Amino acid sequence: MLDSILSRGKLKAATDYGSVSYLIYRGETIGYQYELLKQFTEVLDVELELVIEKDLDKSMEMLENNEIDLIAMGLTVTTERKNHVEFTDPIITTHQVLVQRKPDNFRNMETLDEIESHLLRNQIDLADKSIYIQKGTIFNKRLQTLADEIGDTIYIFEEDKSIEELIHAVSVGEIDYTIADRYVALVNARYYQNIDINTPISFPQRIAWAVKKEQYSLTDTINSWLAEFKSTLLSRLIYNKYFENLRSGRIARSQYSSYTGGKLSPYDASIKKASKIIGWDWRLLASMIYQESEFKPHVKSWVGAYGLMQMMPQTFEQYGIDTTASPMEQIRAGVKYLKYLEKQLPEEISEESEKIKFTLASYNSGIGHVLDARRLAEKYGKDPNRWTGHVDHFVLNLSDEFYYHDSVVYYGYLRGEETYNFVNEILQRYEDYKNLIKE
């Protein structure tokens, strides 16, 4: 398994979509599971491909069928699950909690005891209660065990919804109770301030990733990385970012969170409209704009590039605008320039996906350097009409004197790593946008 991941240069992992695991906030891909996975894939020097799947049973099937390499959903380690998967060392240790709604007028209550009188604190009080849980989780087994322990009935309803969707249902009064791991409930409690998460229903439990049975090389590699990573400052910073920082509640409430608001930026409508000029998916254009400016319309680079599209003043002038241009005018000018660059590409670059890569590279470095890299690719036996693994290799090497002094190179030296990363990062972010933002 590990050898195949390294040979194809990609780790394929399933995770769920939510305020803890994987989401977009103001154009940036974030999430606790996502950030851990990115750290791990950087160590392996491979790309990360994420598959969103909230159904745990389906994720297990995908793992068994070799459709994915890893489940990164914060699975609780159980003896029964160990019969089917290899667990990594724990990512987090947590416990399960009851999620219930505070009384409607809790903010007007004078004492904490008055609020407490409306809440379930003793697990015995779950008798005859209806509790809705995510399908496929271990919460069902825990509640059945708890019902046996208290000698009474707990009505359990499994739903084809994520834990966070069920927490929302509690908050708005659609259901009265659900179960969640405390670390997930904690983040949601900062958003849904009318929910209570302080009634534990389990002992501490280990949360881990899962690998296909007997894939020891991958499991051992993850464990080795985890042992080292957990001792770092970065590990603590990532953990605090999601579970200790009050800002996590603000992120969850934001209209620019893909999980709650569904918007990338204040300029989504303008980006959608302008993307039609070049015929791109608006989310691809948005990824490029984030790369250039992080959606900041007045940012200026050290070389003088300005605005959302980071265009140089002379390029602005070609389209009849200057630094007083509105965000919409900036975007339209930038897209027209992209279209101009696309038209300059040789007709032999006919595949749309390749044309996009060459256009992005030309926008960053200038089309002259991209054409130089094509000539080098042709000279050294690579395909001049394919970017990845062909022309991008020579873009990277245009900072090497051996190559930029080559007779087929007309435009000389280029900091090729910048252009190489520019294309890759935009396309990787675009995949996240496609996963998490509706068309």
Model confidence, pTM: 0.81
Which pair of structure tokens corresponds to residue 69?
A: 């390499």
The domains found in the chain, sorted by start residue, are 2-87+211-253 (3.40.190.10), 96-202 (3.40.190.10), 268-436 (1.10.530.10)
* Terminal Cα distance for the chain, rounded: 34
The answer to whether 401 touches 373, Cβ cutoff 8 Å, is: no
Give residue 255's pLDDT. 74
Mean pLDDT by 10 residues, the chain (439 residues): 91 88 86 94 95 88 95 90 94 95 86 87 94 93 94 95 92 96 89 92 94 94 96 93 71 69 89 96 97 93 89 88 92 96 95 97 95 97 96 95 94 94 96 90
Give residue 251's pLDDT. 65
Give residue 246's pLDDT. 61
Give residue 232's pLDDT. 95
What is the spatial distance between Cα 332 and Cα 324, in angstroms, rounded to a whole number? Answer: 14
Give residue 247's pLDDT. 62
Give residue 54's pLDDT. 80
Give residue 422's pLDDT. 96
Q: Residue 189: name the closest of 174, 161, 170 by CA.
A: 170
